[in-house]
Amino acid sequence: TDLQAAVGCAQLEKFPSFVIRRRQNFDRLKQALADTTDQLILPVACEHSDPSWFGFLITCREADRREKLVPFLEQNGIQTRMLFAGNLTKHPCFDAMRKTKTGYRIVGDLENTDRIMRDTFWIGVYPGMTDAMLDDMADLIHQGLKI
């Protein structure tokens, strides 16, 4: 509709500032969590890229760490989301195909995709977040890693 188009055009005018702020938020979190790389795998941009980050992807190095960290963050007001990928053959839509072993093939043991499903989650870098919000989020991650 015309109204939706007007809203979309207004949002497009804000787009450059959204991209800048998402990158700043990502960089602030990455710097604040740099001392956690013994416990967490932090995201890295591909070479020759400058992404407008959707979120901040965290993979826990220790098995079962995510099961402690994510509830702690959620209980303290930090929203998280699971990665919507990983080993897709374990998603419910594959149930029928798994039984008949038709419709797809698997090459290798899918160890890394299983790990992503088990140990990875997102936190946000929404452009409306303040530096104080990001610092609080990083502090809570540090606290959560101690439990």
Q: Would you call 127 helix, strand, or coil by DSSP?
A: coil
Predicted pLDDT at 42: 97
| pTM given for the model | 0.84
Predicted pLDDT at 85: 72
What are the start-end ranges of the E strands in 1-147? 40-41, 55-60, 80-82, 120-124
pLDDT in tens, the chain (147 residues): 999 999 999 889 888 899 999 999 999 999 999 999 999 999 999 999 999 998 999 999 998 999 999 999 999 999 999 877 777 787 787 777 777 777 777 888 888 888 888 999 999 999 999 999 999 999 999 999 998
Predicted pLDDT at 114: 87
Residues 145, 36 contacting (CB under 8 angstroms): yes
Total residues found in the chain within this entry: 147
Instruction: Return d(Cα 143, Cα 145) in angstroms, integer.
Output: 5
DSSP 8-state assignment for residue 4: H
Give me the phi and psi of 131, to 5 degrees please.
Answer: -60, -40
Predicted pLDDT at 102: 74
What SS3 string covers 80-96?
A: EEECCCCCHHHCHHHHH
> Residues with Cβ < 8 Å from 69, sequence gap 6 or more?
60, 121, 141, 144, 145, 147
Q: Would you call 60 helix, strand, or coil by DSSP?
A: strand
Predicted pLDDT at 53: 92
Predicted pLDDT at 143: 97
Predicted pLDDT at 96: 78
Predicted pLDDT at 105: 79
